[in-house]
Amino acid sequence: MVARHTWLLPPVLAVCLAAALLAADASAPLHLEALLAFKKGVTADPLGALSNWTAGAGDAVRGGVPRHCNWTGVACDGAGRVTSIQLLQTQLQGALTPFLGNISTLQLLDLTENGFTGAIPPQLGRLGELQQLILTENSFAGGIPRELGDLGNLQLLDLTTNTLTGVIPSSLCNCSAMWALGLGINNLTGQLPACIGDLDKLQIFSAFINNLDGELPPSFAKLTQMKSLDLSTNKLSGSIPPEIGNFSHLWILQLLENRFSGPIPSALGRCKNLTLLNIYSNRFTGAIPRELGELVNLEALRLYDNALSSEIPSSLGRCTKLLSLGLSMNQLTGSIPPELGELRSLQTLTLHDNRLTGTVPLSLTNLVNLTYLSLSNNSLSGPLPENIGALRNLGKLIIHSNSLSGPIPASITNCTLLSNASMSSNELTGHLPAGLGQLQGLVFFSVGNNSLNGSIPKDLLDCVNLRTLVLASNNFTGGLW
């Protein structure tokens, strides 16, 4: 006789399973109603993303998985409760229904790159389990609902690229689990919340291209877990606090196009992980800190369009990963440090519109990856490096309005990618070098207001892309071909 066994669930597990099924049964109609309200609020669905969002008999059968759990963009947990709505780049248009606030189990709402308009429903603040709210690249208007500050489990809030107005609500400081906050490209006004430092888990904070003003609040110094900070293109003022040196995880700092003033903190040199430091177009004064030379992982350092008045620290030559170094449009003095020739990865070097003196260092010809070199509007003197032709990737050579002397090096014809050569208003002498016709990409060639002589080479005619040729105010002889 074959033994027959009846397998029974342990009592506790059976009770838990029964409770979950009952919860699913109870929530299913409410979630279905909210999803249908979402669809009703959509006025255009050109890609048919919601074409299978249809109700029917048996949508919430006891013990079964609700049909809406299989709708496009909808995900449920094992008990059939909606946990995620993801409808990215679906070209949906319309308004966002407040009924989404009834899906209490929702953990993720991502509507990236659609055409939603109107206000962000304050009812979303009832979604106590929500961890990620991503509404970037839509056309939401009005203010950021203060009710979002009730989302105690919220970790990521991204409202970038909308038309939101008003202030950043201080209630967001209650979202203590937040590690990423994106508010860029809106029309937000006012100051950063005084309590911003309460978000001590914040690693990514972007609020670029708004109309924010005021100074960084004292609590800002508490955001020591920050990895990426972008407050560019606002009206922020005051100084950068020296406590920024405690942001040891920071790898991107962008404060460009604001009204920050005072010195650049030398403590920034302690942020060893920095790869991008863009603080141009502000009102910084004083010295370029030599401590910035400690940032050996830096790939871009752009300090241009400020009022910096020191010499260029030779320590920057240690930032050997630099691809872009922009120090132009300041009041920098002294000579160009030869140590900059150690930056072998450099592609862009802009030092124009300063008060630099001395010669162009021979070491700059080591920068074989350089595509853009701008030294114009300084007081540089002496000859150009004879081996300037080593810069075979150079596309733009902007050195006008200095006191450079001597001949244009013959090796310049090796710079076959050159499109813009602006050398006017110097003290250059001698003949134009033979072989300029090899520069097939040359569009702009200006050597006016120098002391060049001899005949004008006929092979300039071979520069078929040449649009601007300036030879005036020299001592050329002979005819123009």
Q: How confident is the model at residue 59 (pLDDT cuts 50, 70, 90)?
A: low
Amino acid 440: pLDDT: 94
Q: How confident is the model at residue 25 (pLDDT cuts 50, 70, 90)?
A: low
Task: Evaluate if residue 20 carries a pLDDT over 50.
Answer: no
Amino acid 3: pLDDT: 39
Spatial contact of 243 and 221, defined as CB atoms under 8 Å apart:
yes
Model-level pTM? Answer: 0.92
Pick the CATH number of 30-48+67-236 from 3.80.10.10, 3.40.1190.10, 3.90.226.10, 1.10.10.10: 3.80.10.10
Instruction: Please give the sequence-ordered ranges of beta strands (E in DSSP) within 233-323, or none if there are none.
Output: 235-238, 252-254, 259-262, 276-278, 283-286, 300-302, 307-308
Spatial contact of 156 and 178, defined as CB atoms under 8 Å apart:
yes
Amino acid 481: pLDDT: 63
The two tokens of residue 317 are 């030559």
Amino acid 55: pLDDT: 85
Instruction: List the end-to-end C-alpha distance of the chain, in Å, as a whole number.
Output: 115
Q: Degrees (nearest 5) of the Cα angle 283, 353, 287? A: 45
Mean local confidence (pLDDT), 451-479 = 93
**H or E element: which one contains 280?**
none
Mean local confidence (pLDDT), 243-264 = 98
Task: Evaluate if residue 16 carries a pLDDT over 80.
Answer: no
Task: Evaluate if residue 468 carries a pLDDT over 90.
Answer: yes
Mean local confidence (pLDDT), 162-171 = 98
Measured between alpha carbons, how far is 295 from 426 in angstroms, rounded to an integer?
36
Question: CB under 8 Å, gap of 24 or more: what pairs does 431-435 form?
Answer: 431/407, 431/455, 432/408, 432/456, 432/457, 433/407, 433/408, 433/409, 433/457, 434/410, 434/459, 435/410, 435/459
CA count, 13 A, side-chain hemisphere, 469? 13
Q: How confident is the model at residue 58 (pLDDT cuts 50, 70, 90)?
A: low
Task: Evaluate if residue 324 carries a pLDDT over 80.
Answer: yes
Mean local confidence (pLDDT), 304-331 = 98
**Pick from 62-71, 224-233, 433-442, 470-479: least confident:** 62-71
Q: Degrees (nearest 5) of the Cα angle 319, 324, 327? A: 90
DSSP characters over 416-447: TT--EEE--SSEEEEPPPTTGGG-TT--EEE-
Task: Evaluate if residue 254 carries a pLDDT over 60.
Answer: yes
Give tens-digit pLDDT for 399-447.
999 999 999 999 999 999 999 999 999 999 999 999 999 999 999 999 9
Give tens-digit pLDDT for 190-203.
999 999 999 999 99
Amino acid 14: pLDDT: 41
DSSP characters over 62-115: TTS--GGGGSTTEEE-TTS-EEEEE-TT---EEE--GGGGG-TT--EEE--S-E
Q: How confident is the model at residue 18 (pLDDT cuts 50, 70, 90)?
A: very low
Q: List C-alpha distances in Å: 6 to 15, 160, 392, 418.
A: 18, 57, 82, 85
Which three-class secondary structure state does DSSP give residue 169? coil
Q: Residue ranges of the domains in the chain?
A: 30-48+67-236
Give tens-digit pLDDT for 65-84.
899 999 999 999 999 999 99
Mean local confidence (pLDDT), 227-237 = 98
What amino acid occupies position 455?
S
Give tens-digit pLDDT for 326-342.
999 999 999 999 999 99
Shortest CA distance to 171 belongs to which of 131, 134, 153, 198?
Answer: 198
Task: Evaluate if residue 15 carries a pLDDT over 50.
Answer: no
The pLDDT mean for the chain works out to: 93
Q: List C-alpha distances in Å: 233 to 68, 184, 309.
A: 43, 10, 24
Amino acid 401: pLDDT: 98
Amino acid 57: pLDDT: 53
Amino acid 8: pLDDT: 42
Task: Evaluate if residue 387 carries a pLDDT over 60.
Answer: yes
Give tens-digit pLDDT for 331-375.
999 999 999 999 999 999 999 999 999 999 999 999 999 999 999
